[in-house]
Structure 1
């Protein structure tokens, strides 16, 4: 008595036939793809609408129903630049750049100590770092304002540098610790056997290995500092105001200049978009190392 093989074989070649795709699985995959595109378009639509509105005249931007066909113009961008946007952009660049450098310089040794050479009650130390992010900023703005006033540092860009550094340091330490934990212990043992000291190991071995994570951390700090509004609104005036403060200038007693607001917002978004595009390779590698769980 012969037994039938469970494999389905082709009558011509005798080779196993490829299994037929599950019809239900194909339908579910198609629906998932459509849903993904719908969600992506829903999130991207406001950004696209802002970009389109930036090239309209004010009357066209405020029209109801919306004006779909129009002649693009750069008038709103000229108005933004002529309105003194350069000073605000310079202040944002200084505050964001210096605070990000300080955050990375402080976060690297701190995260190294917590990951490679952990101290007792490391989790308590991490909780201390992250607990500062749980405090609402509105609860500390009054004492910060009083202290800044007594030190005569109100409306100075360096006050924002210090605050942005303190604001981003906890998240940077938390992220960088995760990146350092991904390094195999054998690498540190090999560096030690070669006679490398702590600083040389950190500079020549560890930093190159966590460079993608470093880029991801720096970019997140840049985004947080560049978009920060509350401290800049309450602690600056004419000399140290940043880009988010400039954007609010499009809302006047005469009304909301929607096209100019869109142009200012588009210009404000470009530096972060360019930074993300330049560092996209390192950013993807960094985020895949396990920092974002």
Structure 2
């Protein structure tokens, strides 16, 4: 009995320590990025100034004055928000139809949508750029970025919503039909309130994916619709990387999404565990 108690106490003390070690390992790159953002470009590359340096806000001041940070941030907010909203507008009805009125091809359609995520983005970069520049006249526009972000995240949105909707008893929807509720009424008055946690978590994850998307936002924009990813990529020159400025811009780019995730972690966890075995 004493041996079991000792093992139990050892385990209770060990797991928190391991959790803190793992958390620190994952957090260290973020810490180092923030730490470096307070160095000048010269101090950032000198080994002797690894910890002994004079902190400065020069990188942040230059970021707002010389790089027009707020324009890039505004584009990121607008494109990520509208791409998320459009993905939900399409994804909620699609997942509703597949969950409550499936056909024999529903699983095939879901697998086909998921398979589109396996297509290398580089394979369609040239035709996308050629069409948007020469025929559609949409290159470097917010609408193009919103459309691309919506489409590349739509399969994940539909899959997540389909999983959440499948956990809702079908009898509730059938009862609504018997009471004469329209399809839009079923979605608006029955489905959305019941699956609000899942929809909220899907929206949060989609917004994060849109905000962090770098491949398409860098290659389909130049000035007018450029997002924070483009601003980060711009701190690169033939003579090398400007680590101080790059760290400051990166910190300013990831800070909003980290803050959003921190304040919405309860809703995010609730949505991700929606329908799980309690």
Same fold, TM exceeding 0.5? yes
Whether 1:277 aligns to 2:262 is: yes
Greater C-alpha Rg = 1
Shift, 1:48, TM fit: 0.9
Whether 1:51 aligns to 2:34 is: yes
Shift, 1:147, TM fit: 1.4
**Normalising by the residue count of structure 1, what TM-score does the alignment of the two structures yield?**
0.86
Shift, 1:254, TM fit: 4.1
Equivalent positions of 1:245-256 (< 5 A) are 245-256=230-241
- Structure 1 spans left out of the alignment, 5+ residues: 1-17
Equivalent positions of 1:94-173 (< 5 A) are 94-149=78-133, 150-173=135-158
In the alignment, is the contact (CA less than 8 A) between 1:215 and 1:279 conserved in 2? no
Instruction: Work out which of the residue numbers 172, 180, 196 in structure 2 matches 1:187.
Output: 172
Q: What is residue 265 of structure 1 aligned with on the other side? A: 250
User: May I ask how many residue pairs the two structures share in their alignment?
Assistant: 274
Whether 1:34 aligns to 2:17 is: yes
Secondary structure of 1:196's aligned partner: coil
What is the distance in 2 between the residues matched to 1:136 and 1:171?
A: 16
What is the distance in 2 between the residues matched to 1:266 and 1:33?
A: 28
Shift, 1:208, TM fit: 1.3
In the alignment, is the contact (CA less than 8 A) between 1:211 and 1:282 conserved in 2? no
Residue range with higher mean Cα deviation, 85-94 or 20-29:
20-29
What is the distance in 2 between the residues matched to 1:190 and 1:86?
A: 50
**Normalising by the residue count of structure 2, what TM-score does the alignment of the two structures yield?**
0.90
In the alignment, is the contact (CA less than 8 A) between 2:41 and 2:245 conserved in 1? yes
Secondary structure of 1:155's aligned partner: coil
- Structure 2 spans left out of the alignment, 5+ residues: none
What is the distance in 2 between the residues matched to 1:116 and 1:275?
A: 33
- After superposition, the C-alpha distances for 1:96-153 in whole angstroms (9 at most, x for unaligned) are 1111110000000000111111122211010111111010001111111121122221
What is the distance in 2 between the residues matched to 1:249 and 1:109?
A: 40
